[in-house]
Amino acid sequence: MNTMIKNADILTMDDDFSILKNQVICIEDDRIVYIGEDEPFFFLPNRIINAKNKIVMPGLINSHTHCAMTLMRNRSNDLPLERWLQEGIFPIEANLTYKDVYSGAMLGIAEMIKCGTTAYLDMYYIHEASIEAISSSGIRANLSYGVSTSSKVKELGKQGAEEYCKNFILNNRKAFKGRLNTSIEVHSVYLVDENELILSAQMAKDTETLIHIHLHETQTEVNNCIKKYGMTPLQLCEKTGILENKVTAAHTVHVNDEDMQLMKKRKVIPVHNPSSNMLLGSGFADIPKMLQIGLKPALGTDGAASNNTIDMFKEMHITALIHKGYKKDSNAINAKQVLTMATANGAKALGFDNCGMIKVGMKADIAIVNTDSLNMSPYHDSVSALVYSARATDVDTVLVNGEILMKDRKLLTIDEEKVKYEALKSAERLYNLH
């Protein structure tokens, strides 16, 4: 399938942060093959998208979520993380079925596509259900799998569970024309013991896989780790070999200068989740300082149960504002940095080296954003408009791997009403059991 986008004002998100006006983009199958002012004679399009008065940008990348947690949206708020997990979330998750995870994941994916998100990094259960949702919806994702999840240990024994994890990681990598990637889940240093940290580090090394972990989320997590191990969670990750791998670390709220330097030395990618950190009263990650010392933070929503949407436009807006206010410095972080976190840095956080930018050779993961809404008018500057004025409802068209997943705000691969109905049925069943 050949797709041509005409009249495109492109925010490329390339290394030079180029902004190109009135361009033609040609997409052959899943890749961008041409960007220029004129329609190339060699390219015969099967379909044409007119992007006049719209911004063409890389799809947003949600670098930390638990997609199927949409089922638990608005069910337990106003609690700190530990009580939120133990009282509000774990008892519900204990009864999850394949169908529940599928319906929750479909709802999350539908919401993300409508908000211009084209890829996400996921940590959850019953991965096969998420894979079915990813396969049918057309979105890009990286799924994290734990080395010895308790249900698999019960079913297959410890060694069997490790073998299952390894096969999961290797067999699903690059599936669906490269839309699916895999990573190793290390939930956190409070739910995973030292031996399993060592095991996870070794598995990541053996399979050359990135590790996805919650790290330094709350002061309690850090205090308990120091009490138990005599070191911070990041130092424990260094000791157990976790940091010898590529690591994408969600939250990193309570990190001291030494921890930050360790992240820099080991090229850890921190993922900022400001809504979740504020909702659970966890605190503010010092993203401006991380940027200053050369870290490359990405951006995520966390699960819908601690946000309570999975809207990356909202997350960008919050990120751009809270640090200025908290630091009393209007230049603590700027719109360019926030957009980079949500696109190019996100691609690295998910282990995809071929998306996050609009460039020849890159995968065609694209969001096309309307500029004619009241909240975007008068339209001057794409960078400021996207971060400070845009709403998710301004996203008009979304492509992943060259396939159109949303056109004129209509989802093409997902039946929106059916997805809402099935998620409601699953949520009702889970909460009636409880």
List of residues contacting Zn ion (CB under 5 A) = 302
416 vs 424: CA distance, rounded Å: 12
Exposure b/e, 231-248, CB count within 10 A at least 16 = b: ebbbbbbbebbbbebbbb
Tokens read off for 89: 């979330």
93 vs 302 by CB, closer to Zn ion: 302
Shortest separation between residue 250's beta carbon and Zn ion, angstroms: 5
List the beta bridge partners of residue 120.
62, 141
Smallest separation (angstroms) from Zn ion to the CB of 235: 21
Minimum distance, C-beta of residue 234 to Zn ion, in the bound complex (Å): 17
Smallest distance, Zn ion to C-beta of residue 300, A: 8
Residue among 188 and 370 whose Cβ is closer to Zn ion: 188
Q: Which amino acid is residue 315, in one-letter code?
A: E
Give me the least distance between CB of 273 and Zn ion, in Å please: 7
Among residues 263 and 368, whose Cβ is nearest to Zn ion? 263
**What are the distances in angstroms from CA 136 to CA 71, 109, 179, 417?**
19, 11, 12, 16
Name which of 11 and 298 has its Cβ closer to Zn ion.
298
Residue nearest to Zn ion (CB): 302
Q: Is the peptide bond before 297 cis (omega within 30 degrees of 0)?
A: no
Q: For residue 111, what are its two tokens?
A: 């919401």
Three-state DSSP string of 274-312: HHHHHHCCCCCCCHHHHHHCCCCCEECCCCHHHCCCCCH
Q: Which is nearer to Zn ion, 172 or 282 (CB)?
A: 282
CB of 123 to Zn ion, least distance (A): 6
Helix crossing, 98-114 with 416-433: angle to 10°?
A: 140
Q: Based on CB atoms, which residue is closest to Zn ion, 271 or 395? A: 271
